[in-house]
Chain A
Amino acid sequence: NAGVTQTPKFRVLKTGQSMTLLCAQDMNHEYMYWYRQDPGMGLRLIHYSVGEGTTAKGEVPDGYNVSRLKKQNFLLGLESAAPSQTSVYFCASSYFSIQETQYFGPGTRLLVL
């Protein structure tokens, strides 16, 4: 099993550009999450999904949109990137609840100039 994979690994954007980060999991997990990690800080939840076709806002949702059209995929979109969105983005998944063990992808490093 590949576990949780993320695409791309690294990306540079100019302010105002858009992009989509892709997360895929092959563990048949119901729950999926997008976090961002900034220097010296822990992870902050952006959006999450409790099942195919569902999405919900986390702690820092502004400037991001998500979609969960297929159970195994969770997409994070930036419609108009800003320098404040420079960060490392992690996707995670868990089987049946947010409170249980989460499995993380390797991360996507995003630089917005």
Chain B
Amino acid sequence: SQQGEEDPQALSIQEGENATMNCSYKTSINNLQWYRQNSGRGLVHLILIRSNEREKHSGRLRVTLDTSKKSSSLLITASRAADTASYFCATDATGSARQLTFGSGTQLTVLP
């Protein structure tokens, strides 16, 4: 079963615009991570936010976590063509079998 689900499934924006993608999950979590996957490549870790944190920044990335709504958002500011990729959230549920559960991803296209 997939714990995290991203929304939207696909997003197309112009270079310089901000991109926001969302992740919803079903059960309580220890932490939530965001990963990026360029076409035909492996996943690259972007940011990890723990359940007791509400917001985290890393460069042009801003992640929020609302545990009451069981949701997270990833904001990429001033997007670049190189940001074109699929973005996945991954959660580890409290008390679960020991694994990260990945969503199905948001495909972001940044047009030059």
Contact = CB atoms under 8 A, between A and B. Distances in A.
Interface of A: 4, 35, 40-45, 48, 50, 56, 58-59, 90, 92, 98-107
A4 B4 CA distance: 25
Contacts of B30: 99
B42 A48 contact: no
By secondary structure, the B interface counts as strand
B99 A45 contact: yes
Nearest to A42: B102
Interface of B: 2, 4, 30-31, 33, 35, 40-45, 48, 88, 90, 92, 97-105
Given A99-B31, A99-B92, A48 B99 contact: yes
A59 B99 contact: yes
Given A98-B98, A100-B48, A42 B2 contact: yes
A102 B41 CA distance: 15
B99 A104 contact: no
Given A4-B42, A90-B42, A42 B104 contact: yes
A60 to B, nearest CB: 11
17 contacts: A35-B102, A41-B104, A42-B2, A42-B102, A42-B105, A43-B102, A45-B100, A48-B99, A58-B97, A59-B101, A90-B42, A92-B42, A98-B100, A99-B98, A102-B43, A104-B42, A105-B42
Nearest to A100: B48
Contacts of A50: 98
A100 B102 CA distance: 14
Contacts of B103: 42
A113 B98 CA distance: 33
Contacts of B4: 42
Contacts of B90: 42
A102 B42 contact: no
A106 B105 CA distance: 18
A43 B99 contact: no
A40 B104 contact: yes
Contacts of B101: 42, 59
Given A42-B101, A102-B100, A107-B40, 12 more contacts: A4-B42, A41-B2, A41-B104, A44-B102, A99-B31, A99-B100, A100-B48, A101-B45, A104-B42, A104-B44, A106-B42, A107-B41
